[in-house]
Structure 1
Amino acid sequence: MKGLIMDYPLTTNTILEYGNSVFHKKKIITYLPNGTRHEYSFGDMYKRCKQLANALTHKLGITKGDMVGTFAWNHGPHIELYYGISGIGAICHTINIRLSAQQTEYIINNSEDKVIFVDATLVPLLEKIAPLFETVECFVLLNAPKDFVTTLPNTLHYEDLLADQSEDFDWPVIDEKDACGMCYTSGTTGLPKGVLYSHRSTFLHATTIVAPNAGNASSRDTFLLIVPQFHVMAWGYPYMCLLSGSKMVLPSSNLKPETLIKILTEEKVTKANGVPSIWLGIYEAMKKNPPKEKLALEEYLVGGSALPMSLIENFEKDFGIKGIHAWGMTETSPLGTLCRLQPNHDNLSYKEKLKIRAKQGVAFPGVELRIITDDGNRAPHDGKTMGELQIKGAWTVSSYFKTNNHESFTKDGWFKTGDVSTIDEDGYMQITDRTKDLIKSGGEWISSVALESALVSHPKIKEAAVVAIPDKKWVERPLALLVFTTPQDKPSNEELISFLAKDFAKYQIPTDYVEIDEVPKTSVGKFDKKEIRRLYAAGKLTMAL
């Protein structure tokens, strides 16, 4: 017997309508690429979404199921594209602006984008490869002056596109299981793969991460969205903020630490998101030049890679700002876990609490996790037994776009993340490494993530990346690449070995250290260990400090 409940649509239109109905006075603030500040309300944005819907339908000929690309920074018009495109039943394809030209060309042709909305400052990246696009009919320029010159064919200006459009539009009836958005993986292990999000998955993800145990968002908050809108829909925050009535602050290309601190200060931001490297830069800039007044910032949410325990501790100790750990992937829409302490942790020491906060956290309602060991068994929740992390849930990918490759999925329907993890008795998951980045030395596993976290806690080290290198005796040994806080004052190999010996067995400790200016990173700010291994194989890393 089925329940007698209405079949209410879980769609992005439902999110938009709710945000406009309840929070139409709340603000969206953008710091544009040219540095100017623009402010308007949720209600203004709502009207422009309807103008956009009319323009897409009547001017550009976009119909249900069409793919529409965005190649843009974080700003108000990009938020409008999120809702306007999916609102008419088309698919908002956010294209990663930091991929190579070859990857971008592949993604646009593979997705069959019909129209691409592109920021004026990013136009040169597309001009080089535009002749290779097979399905793109026109380009719409965002934040471009009237006299803007480009070699892109068939261009329109965004404001001209909306100018004569009605603010009235009746949203079509959309099946909540229809696609509303798409992102591609960063392609670090082959060609990028498309992940197609449904209206239902997007709605459920957004309503879940609003909760106090998750994003902890309310109408009293001001959120700074540093995570790019082209990266897994900015972690779902543009949807969450409309549901919670949180003010949105969008920095576009203004991502230097000093500029972000200025924005945090001026807008009285209470919460923010971003990858660890962003927050490391902000912390160092604040240490060097402390703000004259205490920031309103209460906490920052971090994902993409591990948040070092030392950064959590230092940010909180020096500025009273909490670091909140989360984990997810493009394939999980993206947030799958988040780490907040529970009442049973209250009596722990600060150091013991830090160890828990450095974990990736517990699964959200609607998400299940399991650890599978090398022998194919399910690992116990003991916080020690490592294995591959697998996930299933209401916003987890079931297959990739346009591919029959099922290697990433188990026979019983779980997605294989490629992360090596543990889960403790309270359900807190901790990533110990990627399967391809684990180091096996003399038959024993070594976690590169644990070594990196320990090394970066050294006061003279700014960044640390650890990879496996071949070894005649032990098969593999760890190699540490280090960026120093002050290159004139570097620790010796012996000092580093002694420093790590407090927490690691002798066989786990690197004996080889390389000084570098910056750790190579992927398009979304993660350490690019594939590139590091390539540099080592090519003999481009000097082994002595």
Structure 2
Amino acid sequence: MINSLTMDDYPLSLTAVVERAEQFYSGRDVVSRRPDGSIARSTLGACARRARRLADALAGLGVGDGDRVATLLWNQAEHLELYFAVPAMGAVVHTLNPRLHADELAFIVQDARDRVIVVDESLLEVFDGFRELHRFEHVIVVSHGGPVPDGMLDYETVIGGSEPMEWPVIDERRAGAMCYTSGTTGRPKGVVYSHRALVLHSLAAALPDALGVSAQDTLLPVVPMFHANAWGLPYAAALLGARLVLPGPNLDPVSVLDLISTEGVTMTAGVPTVWMAMLDALDAEPDRWDLGRLDRLIVGGAAVPRSLLEGYDRHGLTVVQAWGMTETAPLGTVSRLPVDLRESAAEDRYAFRARQGVAMPFVEIRARNEEDGFIEWDDAAMGELEVRGPWVAAGYHNGTGADSFTEDGWFRTGDIVRIDHRGSIRICDRSKDLVKSGGEWISSVDLENHLMAHPAVAEAAVIAVPDPRWGERPLAVLALRDGVTVDPEQLREHLAREFARWQIPERFEFVSTIPRTATGKFKKIALRDQFSA
């Protein structure tokens, strides 16, 4: 009989990621743009070495195993140092979204029981909004030349007065990081990531048919490091030796394009609203920036309209769509064009690229609805997507939200999807955003994507509004491009090429800009409050 323990039981901990960055990729650049627009340069090795001193300092402040250390920071080198230091010392790095309301931030830090917080100087005003509502034992400030407020500690002074920590051995199933959901349907819920989950996620992100991260890359995560681990890109860069360009708070199209051009970025990632604005800038000044090294734009967080794919294709740039959630760490699916479609008609290629893609290796998917149970993978039936896998949450912090998980351990995503014969999902809506009109379902996502293909429309959001005859009807809220007009009848004619008459909205509302959530998605709850009457 062969002994089952034939391989080394090596722990899949983030410590190995940090040590690899320090040992093999010490000289790889970490470029940070400060809030004032200036550029600071470091390396993966310097960040890893400083992380050892930071961990020693945090231990001296009383941070121990499993304690939460909150961060209120931008995408910057200090944030990467905390990504390294806190999990490797056995504590939990807890990223906070500075765009949330103070009451929400207060709830989150209380629910997480954060002991220490590290704040960027430019976010002290945000911190002041909730600092009195939760007692932090220590506040550490990343200063950019200004004085540190009384009673707070200076980040550089804290590091400078410490010795390098020898990393302890960490169990791979220990918590290493946590992030809270956006709370669009209730209070935010804490998702706690194990070391094992984040290591496996980093390895999966490197796969050629996933994000394809490698040492040849220069990564610019526009997606914030306070949102679902910046989609795992900081850890993937450290594991594989990619250069990192961290954009700070300045995410306007010109600032992002300047960084991509001057730093030779090969891969960037963010939500569709960022890339819509960037496409407008590129269309206005196509020769202003050198984007010759930019190989792919990873787009997720909301369905990508075909018009966005076509727009970047015009500039010779490739958009790769991905889907995920805070609960999936976040990579769940990636839409890479299958080999057999590469020579097919453009219409077929766009139809596939507009989907959210095939499940990542080791991520399992299924979908079901109340009427039929589990749906067929025929691209016709619709059901709520359920997922499970090694980097998918099995529950929420403090045991909240148990109804989001099935009895057999799958996570209910709330996304309504169709699945084709290849296993590629197409998100039709969030369960709360589907329009049920006269007993028939209408996909707001499909309507939005087609509306944004109209040359006059910059942004479109479709919501359900009450109707005395049909129960609900779709209403379209539109932001138009500068200097153009369009009337509702023209928009109905545009939609009639793809949709039946009963699916087309009767009402079109025009706004200067569509409100967004703290993570950059369209804020439909605000639109429903405004237009449902």
Normalised by the size of structure 1, how large is the TM-score? 0.95
Match of 1:426 among 422, 427, 436: 422
Report the CA distance between 1:293 and its aligned residue: 4.8
Partner of 1:315: 312
Question: SS where residue 374 of structure 2 aligns?
Answer: coil
State the partner residue of 2:86. Answer: 85
1:215, distance to aligned residue in structure 2 (A): 0.9
Pick one of 179, 183, 198 that aligns with 2:175: 179
- Counting only pairs closer than 5 Å after superposition, residues 235-250 of structure 1 correspond to structure 2 as 235-250=231-246
Worse-superposed segment, 369-378 or 392-401:
369-378
SS in 1 for 2:404: coil
Q: Structure 1 segments of 4 or more deviating over 4 A?
A: none
Amino acid at match of 1:299: R
How many matched pairs?
A: 530
Q: Any idea what SS the aligned residue of 1:421 has?
A: strand
Q: Show the counterpart of 1:95.
A: 96
Identify the match of residue 505 of structure 1 among 500, 504, 512. 500
Secondary structure class of the residue paired with 1:139: strand
Supply the AA of the counterpart residue of 1:500: L
Q: Does 1:470 align with 2:472?
A: no
| 1:194 pairs with one of 171, 190, 196 | 190
Partner of residue 19, structure 1: 21
**In structure 1, distance between residues paired with 2:160 and 2:22:** 21
Contact 2:32 2:247 in 1 (8 A): yes
2:168 and 2:358 mapped to 1: Cα distance?
A: 37
Specify the alignment match of 1:532 in structure 2: 527
Shift, 1:170, TM fit:
1.2
1:154 to 151, 160, 163: 151
Corresponding residue number in structure 1 for 2:339: 343
Q: 2:447: which partner in 1?
A: 451
Q: CA–CA distance in 2 between the matches of 1:282 and 1:143?
A: 30
Which letter maps to 2:370? D
Deviation at 1:46, TM superposition (A): 1.3
- 1:256 correspondence with 2:276: no
For residues 85-234 of structure 1, the aligned pairs below 5 Å read: 85-134=86-135, 136-148=136-148, 150=149, 154-166=151-163, 168-234=164-230
Distance verdict in 2 for CA 1:359–1:400, change over 3 Å: same
Once the two structures are TM-superposed, the CA of residue 461 in structure 1 deviates from its matched residue by: 0.3
Q: Which amino acid aligns with 2:139?
A: F
User: Distance in 2 between the 1:404 and 1:189 partners?
Assistant: 13
**1:444 Cα deviation after fit:** 1.0
CA distance in 2, matches of 1:36, 1:346: 43
* Partner AA of 2:522 in structure 1: F
The equivalent residue for 1:523 is: 518
CA distance in 2, matches of 1:498, 1:43: 58
Is this contact kept in 1: 2:22–2:49, CA < 8 A? no
Structure-2 separation of matches of 1:384 and 1:27: 47
- Cα deviation, 1:126-179, whole Å, max 9, x if unaligned, reads 113211113x1111001342424x4xx63011001011222x321111110000
- List per-residue Cα deviations over 1:165-216 (Å, max 9, x = no partner): 22x3211111100000000001111111000000000101111011101111
Q: Which amino acid aligns with 1:13?
A: T
TM superposition shift of 1:404: 4.7
Within-5 A mapping of 1:9-88: 9-58=11-60, 60-88=61-89
Secondary structure of the structure 1 residue equivalent to 2:397: coil
1:302-334 deviations in Å (ceiling 9; x for gaps)? 1111111111111111x1001110000011111
CA separation in 2, counterparts of 1:199 and 1:422?
33
Structure 2: distance between partners of 1:76 and 1:188: 30
Question: CA separation of 1:443/1:83 partners in 2, compared to 1, >3 Å: closer, same or farther?
Answer: same
Aligned 8 A contact 2:258 2:289 in 1: no
Deviation at 1:294, TM superposition (A): 3.5
**For residues 246 and 218 of structure 2, what CA distance do their matches in structure 1 show?**
11
2:488 to 475, 485, 493: 493
Q: Which amino acid aligns with 2:142?
A: L
In the TM superposition, what is the alpha-carbon distance from 1:250 to its structure 2 partner? 0.3
* Pairing 1:287–2:277 present: no
Secondary structure of the equivalent of 2:115?
strand
1:138 and 1:112 map into 2 onto residues whose CA distance is 13
**Contact kept in structure 2, 1:298 and 1:320, CA below 8 Å:** no
Q: Measure the CA separation in 1 of the matches of 2:147 and 2:236.
A: 37
Question: In 2, Cα distance between the equivalents of 1:341 and 1:255?
Answer: 29
Structure 2 residue identity aligned to 1:302:
V
How many angstroms apart in 1 are the aligned matches of 2:98 and 2:459?
Answer: 24
Q: What is the match of residue 376 of structure 2? A: 380
- TM-aligned CA deviation for residue 351 of structure 1: 1.6
Query: Retained in 2: the 8 A contact 1:137–1:154?
Result: no
- Determine if contact 2:189/2:400 at 8 Å carries over to the other structure: no
Name the counterpart of 1:542.
Answer: none
* In 2, Cα distance between equivalents of 1:160 and 1:519: 43
What SS does the aligned partner of 1:382 have?
A: coil
Percent sequence identity over aligned pairs: 39
Distance (Å, rounded) in 2 between the aligned partners of 1:217 and 1:186: 27
In 2, Cα distance between equivalents of 1:420 and 1:31 = 38
The more displaced of 21-30 and 84-93 is 21-30
Moved more, 261-270 or 284-293: 284-293
Q: Per the alignment, in what secondary structure is the counterpart of residue 82 of structure 2?
A: helix
AA of the residue aligned to 1:93: H
Aligned 8 A contact 1:33 1:253 in 2 = yes
Q: Deviations over 1:479-514 (max 9, x none)?
A: 00000013x431111111111110000100112100
Local SS of the residue matching 1:140: strand
Deviations 1:446-488 (A, max 9, x none): 00000000000000000000001111121111100000013x4
Gaps of 5+ in 2: none
* Aligned-partner residue type, residue 241 of structure 2: G
Matched-pair contact (CA < 8 Å) for 2:257–2:289: no
Q: Secondary structure at the match of 1:375?
A: coil
CA deviation after TM superposition for structure 1 residue 344, in Å: 1.4
Deviation digits for residues 379-435 of structure 1 (CA, Å, limit 9, x no counterpart): 111111110000001011111101254111111111100000011111111110011
**Conservation of the 8 A alpha-carbon contact between 1:144 and 1:157:** no
Q: CA deviation at 1:291?
A: 3.3
Q: CA deviation at 1:348?
A: 1.5
Counterpart residue type for residue 87 of structure 1 = A
Q: Partner amino acid for 1:270?
A: T
Q: Is the 8 A contact 1:86 1:181 kept in 2?
A: yes
Q: Is the 8 A contact 1:481 1:516 kept in 2?
A: yes
1:140 alignment partner AA: I
Find out whether 1:479 has 2:499 as its counterpart.
no
State the AA in 1 paired with 2:101. S
Q: Distance in 2 between matches of 1:311 and 1:365?
A: 27
Q: Is this contact kept in 2: 1:105–1:133, CA < 8 A? A: yes
